Amino acid sequence: MPTEVSDARLNQDLRKDGWRVVKRVIPYLWPDGEAWVKRRVVIALGFLLLSKVVAVLAAPLFGAATDALAGEGAGPGWMLGAGAVGLTLAYGVSRLINVGFQQMRDVVFALVGQRALRMLALETFTHIHRLSMRYHITRKTGGLSRIIERGVKGVEFLLRFLLFSIGPLILELLMIAVILAFVFDIWYLVVVLVTLVLYTWFTFAVTEWRVKMRKEMNDQDTDANQKAIDSLLNFETVKYFGAEKREAERYDSAMEKYVAAALKTSYSLAFLNFGQSVLITGGLVAVMVMAAMGVQDGTLTVGDFVMVNAYMIQIVTPLNFLGTVYREIRQALVDMGEMFELLGQPAEVQDKLDADELTVSKGEVELHDVFFGYDAARPILKGVSLKVKAGETVAIVGPSGSGKSTIGRLLFRFYDVNGGGLSIDGQDVRDVTQGSLHAQIGVVPQDTVLFNDTILYNIAYGRPEASRAEIEQAARDAKIHDFIMDLPDGFETTVGERGLKLSGGEKQRVGIARTLLKNPPILLLDEATSALDTETEADIQDSLHGLGAGRTVITIAHRLSTIAHADQIVVLENGLIAERGTHDDLLSRDGRYAALWHRQLSEEEQAA
């Protein structure tokens, strides 16, 4: 009993969600201030109505042609005068006109549907980029892309079939029902209505039951896709640990669950199709038996029998289609529901309504008693105050987990502080627009990630409007121009996914060139050389010193030898500033920094 209650509740929730999704789509179909869109929708509906009227009027022509061939005179005078051949030709022309109106309907509506599709896809894509770092690090890219893909396809399907299948089918059924009741007998209408009610009830009930199976199949499909993409993105790691078989087994395990869910869906589909066939065939046979009895007792002609058959075929064909369309619409609503749920995710970091543009005159950065934690139960920064003067280079060092990189993320406003404040030239970063903030800060991360495009595109990403000469100059300043020119395709060389065709040092130099082209007044170096070998690191450090000239630089460092030149070194420990000063000052104090320095020096000597 509890299972039945929960299932009924689930179906009710699905119906509510379905209506919510339909309401979200309607504005794309009937947008305010877009008269041309509404005009096209109305014209398309006009062609739709004409096609259905012609389709309903075609059956009497077919019946009259049959009577003419059988020698039974019945019907209007113009039909009798046309003869069997003329009526047959008229029937053929009516079918052709019907198809023509349907194609005109599709042509007129195509631009409306594609516009809605494009706008919704763009809205989803834009919203995903607006979501916070916290959301993206908890979601899997493969699952996210599959949700968007299925959701956009669902919108396309819903716009076309909800408007041009369900509505037209109801209209056609109503017209045929009226003709059967008035031209033949009320009992024909009763049989048709009973068949329709039973068919619709059976189709909807079984489909609602199948929706849960389809949702489970979707979940397993998403899980398998996530595992595949995750494995491919970590191709090198898989190779390092000889884990190809393990990854294949992991993927196969996910696919096994998907297949089990898909089989249940397939079996339930067979049950649905057979049940629909039983109901529709029963109604068809009952009506045709009634018509045959009418022909036998002389109340109907053979042409009437053929006309009734033609009308029943017109009913049966779209009803069979209705089962498929309803199933697909129901699935589309589920897929779109997931996408709209994604669109409903609030952005954790948002601009204030009255946010100003950030104006950087000097480039002074200050942290005022900053408290922050990714999780409320585990604080990372516990009251950090730090002032970086204009044009000064400040290095932040400390053990892993002390909060070094967190300061960089707060500066770029990937997160908002829990307490205190962070300002640039006296302007709190929460009071300015994120776009203007990001424009004033250049970041060179530990691992520069490149787009799967050309070197030219990746460097120009720093300032897309830059000229070719400026891009090449940035490459020279980053000491990578000669390397690029030695490549067969030069600046048009494709770097591969995430820049895998380049070495670590080459990627870093492309990243430096990109940041040089951006030309920001504030620079954040987040362990920019810690993943490189000593020789490459020394070369890259020269480029970074050139990059930092005349700028305010915050360096988050692991190797202390790379920041000995800094104007100020800040030692973080357990979320607090343990020491601060110049390299020589901190060594002379023989404190935490000195201990870190001597330990690293000893490790380097042992390695040598």
- pLDDT of 281 > 70? The answer is yes
Q: Tell me what percent of the residues of the chain surpass a pLDDT of 70.
A: 85
- pLDDT of 365 > 90? The answer is yes
Residue 425: φ, ψ to 5°: 50, 45
pLDDT of residue 351: 85
* Higher-scoring residue by pLDDT: 179, 460: 460
* Higher-scoring residue by pLDDT: 524, 324: 524
Q: What is the DSSP letter of 283?
A: H
Joined tokens for residue 183: 């031209």
In this prediction the pTM is 0.63
Query: Three-state SS for 370?
Result: strand
What does pLDDT average to over the chain?
Answer: 81
Tell me whether strands 522-526 and 441-444 are parallel, antiparallel or unpaired. parallel
Q: State which of 30-34, 179-183, 463-467, 477-481 shows the largest mean pLDDT.
A: 463-467
Beta bridge partners of 386: 367
Query: Do the beta carbons of residue 225 and residue 142 sit within 8 Å?
Result: yes
> How far from the centroid of its chain's Cα atoms is residue 144's Cα?
6
- φ/ψ region of 572 (left if φ > 0, alpha if ψ in -120 to 50, else beta) reads beta
| CB environment 218-235: b (16+ within 10 A), e (fewer) | bebbbbbbbbbbbbeeee
Element (H, E) at 525: strand 522-526
Whole-angstrom Cα distance, residue 43 to residue 63?
A: 32
pLDDT of residue 81: 47
Which residues contact residue 94 at a Cβ distance below 8 angstroms, ignoring those fewer than 6 apart?
54, 55, 57, 58, 61
- pLDDT of 531 > 60? The answer is no
* Higher-scoring residue by pLDDT: 549, 530: 549
pLDDT of residue 4: 40
- Nearest in space to 395 (alpha carbons), one of 130, 581, 222, 228: 581
Q: What is the DSSP letter of 559?
A: S
- Nearest in space to 310 (alpha carbons), one of 98, 20, 453: 98
Superfamily of 365-607 according to CATH: P-loop containing nucleotide triphosphate hydrolases (3.40.50.300)
Element (H, E) at 279: helix 244-296
Which strands, in side-by-side order, build the sheet including 427-428? 381-388, 365-372, 419-424, 427-428
Tell me whether strands 365-372 and 381-388 are parallel, antiparallel or unpaired. antiparallel
- Residue 136's pLDDT band, with cuts at 50, 70 and 90, is low
Which residues contact residue 345 at a Cβ distance below 8 angstroms, ignoring those fewer than 6 apart?
127, 131, 135
Whole-angstrom Cα distance, residue 141 to residue 498?
A: 14
Query: Three-state SS for 366?
Result: strand
Whole-angstrom Cα distance, residue 62 to residue 101?
A: 20
Span 140-199, pLDDT tens digits: 555 666 677 777 777 777 766 766 666 677 777 787 878 877 778 888 888 888 888 898
pLDDT of residue 3: 40
Tell me whether strands 522-526 and 381-388 are parallel, antiparallel or unpaired. unpaired
pLDDT of residue 1: 35
* Higher-scoring residue by pLDDT: 12, 521: 521
Burial class (CB in 10 A: 0-12, 13-18, 19+), 557: buried
Whole-angstrom Cα distance, residue 133 to residue 526?
A: 16
Domain parsing of the chain, residue ranges: 27-343, 365-607
Joined tokens for residue 227: 């595992």
pLDDT of residue 562: 81
Helix axes 468-477, 534-548, angle to 10 degrees: 130
Beta bridge partners of 441: 522
Query: Do the beta carbons of residue 307 and residue 67 sit within 8 Å?
Result: no
> How far from the centroid of its chain's Cα atoms is residue 26's Cα?
19
> How far from the centroid of its chain's Cα atoms is residue 164's Cα?
26
Q: Residue type at 182?
A: F
- The torsion angle over the Cα atoms of residues 350, 351, 354 and 357, rounded to 10 degrees, is 170
Tell me whether strands 568-573 and 393-397 are parallel, antiparallel or unpaired. parallel
C-beta atoms surrounding 185 within 10 Å: 16
HEC string for 167-198: HHHHHHHHHHHHHHHHHHCHHHHHHHHHHHHH
Helix axes 77-130, 35-70, angle to 10 degrees: 150
CATH of 27-343, one of 1.10.240.10, 1.10.3720.10, 1.20.1560.10, 3.40.50.1950: 1.20.1560.10
Whole-angstrom Cα distance, residue 177 to residue 314?
A: 11
Taken in order 400, 403, 407, 413, the sign of the CA dihedral is: positive
Span 84-110, pLDDT tens digits: 778 778 878 888 998 898 889 888 888
Whole-angstrom Cα distance, residue 557 to residue 224?
A: 38
- φ/ψ region of 564 (left if φ > 0, alpha if ψ in -120 to 50, else beta) reads alpha
Whole-angstrom Cα distance, residue 196 to residue 214?
A: 25
Q: What is the DSSP letter of 318?
A: H
Whole-angstrom Cα distance, residue 134 to residue 415?
A: 8
Whole-angstrom Cα distance, residue 204 to residue 472?
A: 64
Joined tokens for residue 374: 């990714």
